Amino acid sequence: MQIDVVTLFPEMFQSPFSIGIFKRAIEHELISINLHNIRDYAHDKHRTVDDYPYGGGAGMVLKPEPIFEAVESIKSDIPQKQGGGVLPVILLTPQGRPFSQQVAMELAKYSHLVLICGHYEGVDERVREYLATDEISIGDYVLSGGELAAMVVVDAVVRLLPGVLGSEVSSANDSHTHGLLEYPQYTRPAVYRGWSVPEVLLSGNHAQIARWRSEQAIRRTMERRPELLDKANLYSEEVQLVDRLK
C-alpha cells in the first residue's frame, strides 16, 4: 500500500513511522509512506499557506491552491496502469465520519491512500467539496491539526495489511474486530504477587479456553460498552450467553 500524507508538519511523522510495525512494513516493502509539505506548493516567496476567512472571524484558513496542487502532483505520479481504481483522498477533520475498526478494514482494501491534514481554524471548503473523497474524524474532540489523526488512521490500517504483524492471526482477535472487546490476556508467571492466572488457561483444554474467552469478551463488552453488543456479529451460543448474563 502506498500512503501519501499532505501536511504542514511532515517532521511530526518521522519518529512514529521509523519504529515498530511501520519500520518493518517499510523495510519489507509492504507499505511506502510519502510525506508532502503543503508549504512546498505555496506560490509566493513567503510560502503562504493560510489566509483570513472571508466574512471575518477568528483564526486563519488553509488556502485551497497548495493543497489541490499537492494532491494533483501525487496523482500525476501514479503509473497509468493503476489509474483505473478510485483513489481515496481523505481529509482528517472533526467534522468527518467517525473512524472505527470497520472503517480501518474498509481502507485496508485499497492499494493507495492520500491523507490531508487540516490545520488552523479550518480548510477552505472547496478542498472538502472538490478534492476530498472522504472525511474522517478520530473522535469528538478537537486536535490542533490532522497529523495525529492521520497517524491513528495509518496505524490502524497498516496493522491490518497481510504480512505486517508477526502472524496473520494477530489482528483477527483484536478488540472491535468482531464487534466485541477482547478477552483478558495473561503471560508468565502463573502467580504474580499472589494474583493467579485463571485456572482454565493453564488446563490445556482448548475448547474450554475458547468458551472462557468468548464469555469474558461478552462480559467485558456488557460491562464497559453495552451499546456495542447490539451491533456485534455474534454466534448463536454467544447470543444465548448474552441473554443469560442479562
Q: Which residues bind ligand ADE (CB under 6 A)?
A: 92-94, 118, 137-139, 141-143, 146, 149
By beta-carbon proximity to ligand ADE, the closer residue of 92 and 180 is 92
Per the rule left: phi > 0, alpha: psi between -120 and 50, beta: everything else, 118 is beta
Which one of 16, 53, 64, 121 is the catalytic residue? 121
**Residue 135 Cβ, how far from ligand ADE at the closest point, in Å?**
9
User: Can you tell me whether residue 157 is helix, strand or coil?
Assistant: helix
Using alpha carbons only, how large is the chain's radius of gyration in Å?
22
Which one of 65, 174, 182, 215 is the catalytic residue? 174
> Rounded to whole angstroms, what are the CA distances from 213 to 103, 113, 166, 208, 216?
26, 35, 22, 9, 5
Q: In what order do the strands lie in the sheet with 122-123?
A: 50-51, 61-62, 122-123
Instruction: Report the candidate in 97, 152, 150, 157 with the shortest Cα–Cα distance to residue 119.
Output: 150
By beta-carbon proximity to ligand ADE, the closer residue of 57 and 198 is 57
The type of residue at 93 is: T
Tell me, yes or no, if 94 is annotated catalytic: yes
By beta-carbon proximity to ligand ADE, the closer residue of 146 and 179 is 146
**Residue 158 Cβ, how far from ligand ADE at the closest point, in Å?**
18
**Residue 71 Cβ, how far from ligand ADE at the closest point, in Å?**
17
Contact 55, 89 (CB under 8 A): no
**Residue 196 Cβ, how far from ligand ADE at the closest point, in Å?**
41
Tell me, yes or no, if 50 is annotated catalytic: no
CA angle 182, 139, 13 (to 5 degrees): 90
Beta strands in 138-217 (DSSP E): 191-192, 195-196
**Residue 142 Cβ, how far from ligand ADE at the closest point, in Å?**
5
Cα–Cα distance, 62 to 39 (Å, whole number):
11
Which one of 39, 94, 134, 219 is the catalytic residue? 94
Diameter of the chain measured on Cα atoms: 70
Tell me, yes or no, if 159 is annotated catalytic: yes
User: Can you tell me whether residue 52 is helix, strand or coil?
Assistant: coil
By beta-carbon proximity to ligand ADE, the closer residue of 64 and 184 is 64
By beta-carbon proximity to ligand ADE, the closer residue of 59 and 198 is 59
User: What positions carry a catalytic annotation?
Assistant: 94, 121, 159, 174
